[in-house]
């Protein structure tokens, strides 16, 4: 027994050393990658790094906006799209903290764990958060959606779609990332009939909650792993056949819910989603999605880079407030065609 325990112990130690080794190699490799990218930049030009939260297609328009601003303001822009999760993002940020970029725009995936790193960066560079904030840190400002208000709006859309009441499944990425936490809290407050709390932090409770006609039967969390979104909905539908409404708070959730409902041959379940992925817009057209709240990632990217240049150069483009919030478009069957036209125009302008 003691021998078995010691064997397990030494195996555990060997594993830890291997993991540590991999982490160190990973760190060195990423730092080298960051340096390599930066060494190709022109002298004297403003250098900005743009770090997304993931490689989700959602980020494409944000990157487009950032690179349009970079062209306009003669900035060298480096884009980093972590593919392996928050740890990889932290490694990229650590690499950048030692580099000579002038400014960084980042969507922090783990703002609490990354707080000291972000504060360290803000000590020597201009730092803005995009899409999701890191409150309490020394970042210069946030550009994105008012995520609590957007979540609250999603909750009121449930009430509009289901005036007689609803049994709701909320699918979320994570409450670690601040936009997920705020949207989730907004949805819950609206469904439970609480007045808007302007984003005040309340205790996170992912269990079932009810208020009269509306109840949150389950909350599915996928930790930002899009591949898990559909199986989690399928599982929740099987476990709770009473679910008649799904609120998906990240861009990939509505498409996942549409697919899960089709596979389960379930009709009469209302979906409220976020953003404007093609599958979501098609779902609005077909009536499978009641409404989607589309953010404006193009302008997040554009504004972040433009303001970073302003902060770096002390020019008029510098932001005047701590957060720059863009409203969400509420896309419904009634305006989806007009919305498509508008977005096509933005993309055409962006592509020029
Ligand atoms: C969120 C992003 C997230 C994306 C994922 C969006 O709604 O704002 O933070 O990365 O969904 O698809």
Give the tens place of pLDDT for each residue, 253-304: 999 999 999 999 999 999 999 999 999 999 999 999 999 999 999 999 999 9
Does the C-beta of 133 come closer than 6 Å to ligand 1?
A: no
Does the C-beta of 54 come closer than 6 Å to ligand 1?
A: yes
Q: What is the model's pTM?
A: 0.86
Confidence of residue 201 (pLDDT cuts 50, 70, 90): low
Give the tens place of pLDDT for each residue, 300-321: 999 999 999 999 998 766 666 7
- How far is it, in rounded angstroms, from Cα 245 to Cα 162? 8
Closest ligand 1 atom, residue 226 Cα: 12
CATH number at residue 273: 3.40.50.2300
Q: In this structure, are 241 and 225 located in the same domain?
A: yes
CB 325 within 8 A of CB 145: yes
Q: In this structure, are 127 and 151 located in the same domain?
A: no
Confidence of residue 322 (pLDDT cuts 50, 70, 90): confident
Q: In this structure, are 304 and 288 located in the same domain?
A: no
Does the C-beta of 56 come closer than 6 Å to ligand 1?
A: yes
The candidate with the shortest Cα–Cα distance to 191, out of 161, 164, 168, 174, is 168
Position with higher pLDDT, 342 vs 330:
330
Give the tens place of pLDDT for each residue, 117-134: 999 999 999 999 999 999
Q: In this structure, are 303 and 285 located in the same domain?
A: no
Does the C-beta of 275 come closer than 6 Å to ligand 1?
A: yes
Spatial CB neighbours of 330, under 8 Å, sequence gap ≥ 6 = 153, 157, 291, 292, 293, 294
Distance (angstroms) between ligand 1 centre and the Cα of 251 equals 5
Instruction: Provide mean pLDDT across the span 239-265.
Output: 98
- How far is it, in rounded angstroms, from Cα 275 to Cα 294? 4
Give the tens place of pLDDT for each residue, 216-232: 999 999 999 999 999 99
Instruction: Provide mean pLDDT across the span 192-212.
Output: 75
Domain count for the chain, please give it. Answer: 2
Give the tens place of pLDDT for each residue, 84-113: 999 999 999 999 999 999 999 999 999 999
Q: Please give the residue range of the domain that contains residue 90.
A: 38-131+296-319
Q: In this structure, are 247 and 160 located in the same domain?
A: yes
CB 96 within 8 A of CB 49: yes
Give the tens place of pLDDT for each residue, 21-75: 445 555 555 555 555 455 445 568 999 999 999 999 999 999 999 999 999 999 9
Q: In this structure, are 209 and 95 located in the same domain?
A: no
Q: How is 230-255 classified by DSSP, letter by letter?
A: HHHHHHHHHH-TT--EEEE-STTHHH
Distance (angstroms) between ligand 1 centre and the Cα of 158 equals 20
Does the C-beta of 68 come closer than 6 Å to ligand 1?
A: no
Closest ligand 1 atom, residue 144 Cα: 8
Length of the chain: 352
CB 117 within 8 A of CB 90: yes
Q: In this structure, are 272 and 303 located in the same domain?
A: no
Does the C-beta of 252 come closer than 6 Å to ligand 1?
A: yes
At which of 248, 279, 294 does a domain end? 294
């Amino acid at each position: 027994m003691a021998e078995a325990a010691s064997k397990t112990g030494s195996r555990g130690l060997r594993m830890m050393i291997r993991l540590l080794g991999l982490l160190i190699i990973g760190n060195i490799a990423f730092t080298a990658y960051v340096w390599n990218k930066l060494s190709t930049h022109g002298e004297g030009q403003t250098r900005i790094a743009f770090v997304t939260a993931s490689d989700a297609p959602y980020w494409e328009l944000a990157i487009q906006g950032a690179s349009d601003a970079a062209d306009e303001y003669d900035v060298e822009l480096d884009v980093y799209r972590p593919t392996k999760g928050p740890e990889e993002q932290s490694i990229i940020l650590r690499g950048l903290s030692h580099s000579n970029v002038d400014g960084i725009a980042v969507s922090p995936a783990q703002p609490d764990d990354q707080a000291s790193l972000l504060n360290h960066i803000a000590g020597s560079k201009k730092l803005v958060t995009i899409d999701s904030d890191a409150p309490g840190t020394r970042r210069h400002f946030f550009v994105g959606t008012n995520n609590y208000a957007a979540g609250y709006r999603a909750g009121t859309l449930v009430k509009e779609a289901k005036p007689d009441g609803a049994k709701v499944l909320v699918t979320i990425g994570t409450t670690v990332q601040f936009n997920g936490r705020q949207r989730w809290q907004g949805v819950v407050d609206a469904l439970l009939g609480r007045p808007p709390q302007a984003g005040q932090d309340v205790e996170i409770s992912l269990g079932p909650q009810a208020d009269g006609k509306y109840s949150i039967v389950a909350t599915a969390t996928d930790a930002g792993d899009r591949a898990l979104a559909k199986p989690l909905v399928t599982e929740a539908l099987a476990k709770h056949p009473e679910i008649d409404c799904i609120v998906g708070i990240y861009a990939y959730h509505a498409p996942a819910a549409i697919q899960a409902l089709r596979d389960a041959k379930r009709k009469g379940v209302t979906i409220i989603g976020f953003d404007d992925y093609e599958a979501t817009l098609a779902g609005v057209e077909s009536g499978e999605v009641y409404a989607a709240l589309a953010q404006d990632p193009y302008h997040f990217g554009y504004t972040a880079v433009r303001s970073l240049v302003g902060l770096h150069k002390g020019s008029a483009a510098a932001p005047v407030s701590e957060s720059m919030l863009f409203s969400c478009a509420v896309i419904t069957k009634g305006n989806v065609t007009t919305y498509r036209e508008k977005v096509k125009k933005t993309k055409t302008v962006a592509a020029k």
